[in-house]
Chains A and B, each alone.
Chain A
Amino acid sequence: MTTEQAIRHTPLYERHLALGGAMVPFAGYSMPQQYTGIREEHTAVRQRAGMFDISHMGEVMLTGPGAEATLQLLCANDVSRLEDGQALYGVMCNENGGIVDDIIVYRDSATEFMVVINAACRDGDIAWMRDHLGEATEFVDISDATALIAVQGPRAVAIVDAICDADLTALDTFHCTQGSVAGIAARISRTGYTGEDGVELYVAADDAVAVWDSVLTAGAGEGLVACGLGARDTLRLEAGLRLYGQDMDITNDPISSAIGWTVKLDKGVDCIGATALRAIDRKAPPQRFVGLEFEGRSIARHGQRVISAGSDAGEITSGTFSFTLGRGIATARIRGDADPSDLAVDIRGTVTAARTVALPFYRRPALQETTRG
């Protein structure tokens, strides 16, 4: 079958099969949805540690004297505020202010940057970035040569630190360092997509299996388990983090997606889309992105309608059952003028009352100081 031939494998594919992963297609890759169960994997990350293969993510390098200026054009956040070894979350927008993708930018030096992009957006992002390269900027797609392993949870940093030559406990949030993990060269970044402390390990594709096995062994006594995309999704939603393509896309701007804090229109140079973004009233955007909680175990799903005062007010972007909170949670995109104190969701014909809450739904205890660019 053509679709099976076209599906891609990460360097850890054989490991997923050996661990009994339930493989599902995601962004063109065959990825593990779960190994033992979403609840078990989710809880391991909240209480102990979990490890995820996210090698499907794309990575590109922008280097040269013009790289920073190119990124200032491409990214709505202010890349010039980064110091060496620091990372930044932001969005790339088109001329209308529509989000092309959400990205992480790492500054390695004044002339070397790595950008992490979503797997599903990879081809489009690369074309977009190449089309908008400024002067004196070299662009290299290193996605296929790079594997990415996320180790997340309250014990994650200690587990990796024990097999790493760098002092990871001294590594600040949203910073990275070059080090060796089990003797293998890695970019070690104190970042993640779960709401927990942890690191993400960027390693050469050929080294992925050795690093995966080493972390699994190092974490075995600490309760670390392999986790799939199912737990990744429930964890990121509890943490109030966006999923591009589901929570927002090219038709949405970052301000109406409640990530206006990443949009820096006073950084001295205009990013692509700055004029359109400037025209949006930050206090009264045309749409709002809100968090919803339900009494009990109702689960709202992507695309279900949100109702305010008896009329249609928008739609659910993501919904799940929060294992940590023990109730249904969702994010919704609603009309800017809808009353957030009077929202309900049509869940397969049953109008279910929802309570609007601030994001994130879950904040880890003793949250460390976070650098938010």
Chain B
Amino acid sequence: MADLSSYKFTKTHEWVRRDGDTAEVGITDHAQSQLGDVIFLDLPEVGAELVAGERFGTIESVKAASELYAPVSGTVSEINPALGSTPEAVNQAPYTDGWMLRLSAVAEGSAELLDEAAYKELAGE
């Protein structure tokens, strides 16, 4: 299990790891477990502006399609290039290889974020 002390979590099961004004975004292990086999991700393009709390994409598993919500505001600087051909990385390593977006110019404000302990309580773990 990854060390999650530097991660923050949304109530909609995304995670964000901030480093100065950059950040990395993905979904939690609980989320990937609930979704099951991830098949397809509809993610914004590089340069897109994310707004904290607003929808930024869709993740689709065999079971269902789910919306993705931005934990923070910022500009998309990189999209995980591996997820196009191997979206199962989200299942296998949601906190590391399964990252979705990298952001730059991350703003100070954010959606309501939980720390690891609070998120685990929310997820019932």
B111 within 8 A of A: no
Once the chains bind, are B88 and A230 in contact (CB under 8 Å)?
Answer: no
Chain B residues with Cβ below 8 Å from A230 are 36, 62-63
Question: In the complex, which of the residues A298, A321, A348 contacts B62, with contact meaning CB atoms closer than 8 Å?
Answer: A321
In A261-312, which residues have CB < 8 Å from any B CB? 296-299, 301
Q: Mark B84-107, 1 if CB is under 8 A from A, else 0.
A: 000110010000000000000000
Q: Mark B41-72, 1 if CB is under 8 A from A, else 0.
A: 00000000000000000101011010000000
Q: How far is the CB of B67 from chain A (nearest CB, A)?
A: 10
Shortest Cβ distance from B84 into A: residue: A297
A191 within 8 A of B: no
B40 within 8 A of A: yes
Q: Mark B25-48, 1 if CB is under 8 A from A, else 0.
A: 000000000001101100000000
Chain A residues with Cβ below 8 Å from B39 are 297, 299, 321
Q: State the CA gap A121–B88 with chains docked (Å).
A: 36
In A294-350, which residues have CB < 8 Å from any B CB? 296-299, 301, 320-321, 348
Once the chains bind, are B60 and A299 in contact (CB under 8 Å)?
Answer: yes
Chain B residues with Cβ below 8 Å from A301 are 65
Q: State the CA gap A348–B39 with chains docked (Å).
A: 16
Once the chains bind, are B40 and A298 in contact (CB under 8 Å)?
Answer: yes
Once the chains bind, are B65 and A348 in contact (CB under 8 Å)?
Answer: yes
A37 within 8 A of B: yes
Once the chains bind, are A321 and B40 in contact (CB under 8 Å)?
Answer: yes
Question: In the complex, which of the residues B36, B65, B88 contacts A299, with contact meaning CB atoms closer than 8 Å?
Answer: B65
Q: State the CA gap A299–B58 with chains docked (Å).
A: 12
Question: In the complex, which of the residues B58, B87, B88, B91 contacts A348, with contact meaning CB atoms closer than 8 Å?
Answer: B58
A146 within 8 A of B: no
Q: State the CA gap A296–B37 with chains docked (Å).
A: 16
Question: In the complex, which of the residues A38, A298, A348 contacts B37, with contact meaning CB atoms closer than 8 Å?
Answer: A38
Instruction: List 9 tightest A-B contacts by C-beta distance, closest first.
Output: A297-B40, A321-B39, A39-B37, A38-B62, A38-B37, A297-B39, A299-B60, A37-B37, A38-B36
| Chain B residues with a Cβ under 8 A of chain A | 36-37, 39-40, 58, 60, 62-63, 65, 87-88, 91
Q: What would 5 more interface pairs be, CB under 8 Å, given A38-B62, A297-B87?
A: A33-B36, A33-B63, A234-B62, A297-B39, A299-B62
Can you offer 9 A-B residue contacts whose CB atoms are under 8 A? A37-B36, A38-B37, A38-B63, A297-B40, A297-B87, A298-B40, A299-B62, A301-B65, A321-B40
